[in-house]
Amino acid sequence: MTAPRLATVGVVVHPTKDVDASLTTLREWAAGQDVEVVARQAEVARVPAGVTVLAEADFLARVDAVVSLGGDGTMLGAMRLLIGRPVPVLGVNHGNVGFLVEVSPAELAGALDRLAEHRFVVEPHACIEFEQDGATVMAFNDVVVGADVPGGSVELDLEVEGTRFGYYRCDALVLATPTGSTAYNYAAGGPVISPAADVMALTPVAPMSGVSHSIVLPAGDTVRLHQARADDQALARVDGVATTPFPPGAVATARLRPEAAQVVRIDPDRHAQRSRIKLSLLDLPLRREQLAELLPSDVREDLAHLRGRKVF
């Protein structure tokens, strides 16, 4: 069966970084392929002439794929935007570490060819549905429930599938997806989780009493958090960008929603290798020779030549 033609590509851009070179590459490629490039009205000031600007509802209804120009934060925003209609999202790295984004600006034209020819792999990503006081927000990275003042703490009762699990007393509680497991969850001592696993991690930050270790739960479980202390003023932070109050007596539920977004992987093996290197540089306990094994063979050979000896 022939794959459908790529007719409309949406673009989501970082609010401040210079992504003009990638926008030029995208426009020139699209002109040669008879593909329309569209953006949302909210980004009209960030896109050049030749990009069709649409209302958000029209943008979501029309796009066949989306290109995210920025870092992991921009990519997360694009994924949240498309949760109601998951289409492939290609990330172009204009950021720093970049665990989600795969393609460099120099590789964009070739990646777009692969996208149009359907020569890529879809990496599904789960999100957390976090519901409080009748409002639901989505997090592809994490939800962090913490004190609203520096140095404060929270005390949260935990139930899983209606069964009381105990309580947390800590600086904050991190609810992380596999994608977000390498972020605040990892910094707090939580596990690094494969994107292929449909699980959610709960990790306390600086626990003082109660549950003091990470808990990993499957997608089917519903987590209930209750703000236990009457004088605690807390906040729930969603993917580090959206913040909602979590006042005394507040109750929230959280569950994992599998396959909420489709991330494009042009070269999954290379991306996985790069991610392992980035994690190693973030302090995984690897010796120098083990770190060298993560490098591509041509890079290892160049290093060996420069040092006059093998490094692996």
pLDDT digits (tens, 9 = 90+) for 255-305: 999 999 999 998 756 655 555 555 554 555 556 666 566 555 555 666 666
User: Does 141 belong to an annotated binding site?
Assistant: yes
Confidence of residue 196 (pLDDT cuts 50, 70, 90): confident
pTM over 0.85: no
Is 269 assigned a ligand-binding role in the annotation? Answer: no
- Cβ contacts of residue 78 below 8 Å, gap of 6+? 12, 66, 68, 89, 91
- What confidence tier does 42 reach under pLDDT thresholds 50, 70, 90? very high
150 or 237, which is more confident: 237
d(C-alpha 3, C-alpha 119), whole Å = 11
Q: How does strand 52-54 pair with strand 36-40?
A: parallel
Q: Is 249 annotated as a binding residue?
A: no
DSSP code string of 222-243: PEEEEE--TT--EEEEETTTEE
> What backbone torsions phi and psi does residue 114 show, to the nearest 5 degrees?
-65, -40
pLDDT at 274: 57
Q: If you average pLDDT over every residue of the chain, what do you get?
A: 87
Q: Is 302 annotated as a binding residue?
A: no
Q: Is 65 helix (H, G, I), strand (E, B) or coil?
A: strand
CA–chain centroid gap for 214, Å, is: 20
Summarize the confidence of residues 188-207 as an average pLDDT: 93
CB distance 101 to 92 below 8 Å:
yes
171 is in an annotated binding site: yes
- Least reliable range by pLDDT among 26-35, 222-231, 296-305: 296-305
pLDDT reported for residue 267:
77
- Exposed (0-12), middle (13-18) or buried (19+): which is 49, by Cβ within 10 Å? exposed
> What does the alpha-carbon distance between residue 291 and residue 120 come to, in Å, rounded to a whole number?
28
Output the pLDDT for position 311. 45
The contacts of residue 188 (CB under 8 Å, 6+ apart) are 174, 203, 204, 205, 206
Instruction: Give the pLDDT of residue 101.
Output: 86
Supply the Cα-derived Rg of the chain in whole angstroms.
21
Residue showing tokens 């958090």? 225
**Any bridge partners for residue 244, and if so which?**
236
- Residues annotated as catalytic are 72
